Amino acid sequence: MRRVVVTGANRGLGLELTRQLLAAGDEVVSTARQPETAHELHKLVATSGGRGRVVRLDTGDPDEVAAVALDIGERFDGIDLLFNNAGIWSAPGEPERASAGALPELRAEPVLEVLRVNAVGPLLVTQALAPRLAAAASSERLTPPLSGGHPPSPGATVVNLSSGLGSLAGAGGRGNIAYGMSKAALNMATRHLAAELAGQGTIVVALSPGWVSTDMGGPAAPLGPPESVQGILNVVRGLTPAQSGQFLDHTGARLPW
């Protein structure tokens, strides 16, 4: 039984991660910016036999991150998996063009909000939970290896949910500039965190879920959340320390920076 934290679990990939992790028998703390509106998440947790919990968290707010880290520390003596999933496409309450549009329409505050949530937030959460991630090295509750696969890492794993839109090599034209910037920054944070946490045995990867039919991805996306999350969890189960700091997709393929 793994001890898992999933941020941004009120819908989409975070909700599906919570669903599949609880179904696998894991203990899961799921965070939401507005838990009072996360009705499906509360239903999942209510049927988990006490293995799930919902907590409020704005990942870009240092005070909230510190408070939630203390709360999680009272539940888990170590964390085996951290999914930094919380993210936004554009600044809430603002026209999309203010952070994603053409250059003349951009405004500083909405662009900064996207960067705050998508890049600074995962950094703050990982920083606050690093001691609990370190404590996972002494845990005996890690998932067994997949048949024919690699044995699990003796330490914890941090998964930063990134995007192919954060790839500098893949950026070929106009698009959502704030979102692309934020995911490129998250990829850089992944590299630094992998080096920073290597000494405590924590693996850190940036992982693109693919184009998924969520509220953010839209109905035309070719992947459904269940398929994407199943792939993500398969990749996570097979990770080795040698892969820490890499940028992968939901099939385990390496992506260009």
- Residue 209 confidence (pLDDT) above 90: yes
Give the model's pLDDT for residue 93: 95
> Does 88 map to a domain?
yes
Could you tell me if residue 178 is inside a domain? yes
- pLDDT of 211 over the 60 cut: yes
Q: Please tell me the predicted confidence (pLDDT) of residue 172.
A: 76
- The predicted pLDDT at position 171 comes to 85
For 40-61, how does the pLDDT look when each residue is reduced to its tens digit (9 = 90+)? 999 999 999 999 999 999 998 9
- Give the confidence band of 140 by pLDDT, cuts at 50, 70, 90: very low
Residue 106 lies in a domain: yes
- Domain-embedded: residue 242: yes
Question: What pLDDT does residue 150 have?
Answer: 43
CATH number at residue 99: 3.40.50.720
pLDDT at position 143 is: 47
Mean pLDDT of the chain: 91
Does a structural domain hold residue 191?
Answer: no
| 8 belongs to a structural domain | yes
Average pLDDT over residues 154-182: 92
* pLDDT at res. 170: 87
Please give the Cα distance from 41 to 35 (Å, whole number): 8
In three-state form (DSSP H/G/I as H, E/B as E, the rest C), the secondary structure along the chain is CCEEEECCCCCHHHHHHHHHHHHCCCEEEEEECCHHHCHHHHHHHHCCCCCEEEEECCCCCHHHHHHHHHHHHHHCCCCCEEEECCCCCCCCCCCCHHHHCCHHHCCHHHHHHHHHHHHHHHHHHHHHHHHHHHHHHHCCCCCCCCCCCCCCCCCCEEEEECCHHHCCCCCCCCCCHHHHHHHHHHHHHHHHHHHHHHHHCCEEEEEECCCECCCCCCCCCCECHHHHHHHHHHHHHHCCHHHCCCEEECCCCECCC
Give the rounded percent of residues in the chain with a pLDDT score beyond 70.
Answer: 91
Local confidence band at 142 (pLDDT 50, 70, 90 cut-offs)? very low
pLDDT score recorded for residue 128: 97
pLDDT digits (tens, 9 = 90+) for 71-101: 999 999 999 999 999 999 999 999 999 999 9
Residue 238 has pLDDT above 60, yes or no: yes
Please state the pTM of the whole predicted model: 0.92
Residue 141 reports pLDDT greater than 60? no
pLDDT value, residue 126 = 98
Express each pLDDT in 17-34 by its tens digit.
999 999 999 999 999 999
Q: Which is more confidently placed, 124 or 150? A: 124
- Report the number of distinct structural domains present in the chain: 1
Any domain includes 75: yes
Task: Say what the pLDDT of residue 147 is.
Answer: 40
Domain that holds residue 87: 3-184+216-223+238-246
- pLDDT of residue 67 exceeding 80, the answer is yes
The answer to whether residue 180 scores a pLDDT higher than 80 is yes
177 lies in a domain? yes
Please report the pLDDT score of residue 146 as a whole number: 43
pLDDT at 144 over 70: no
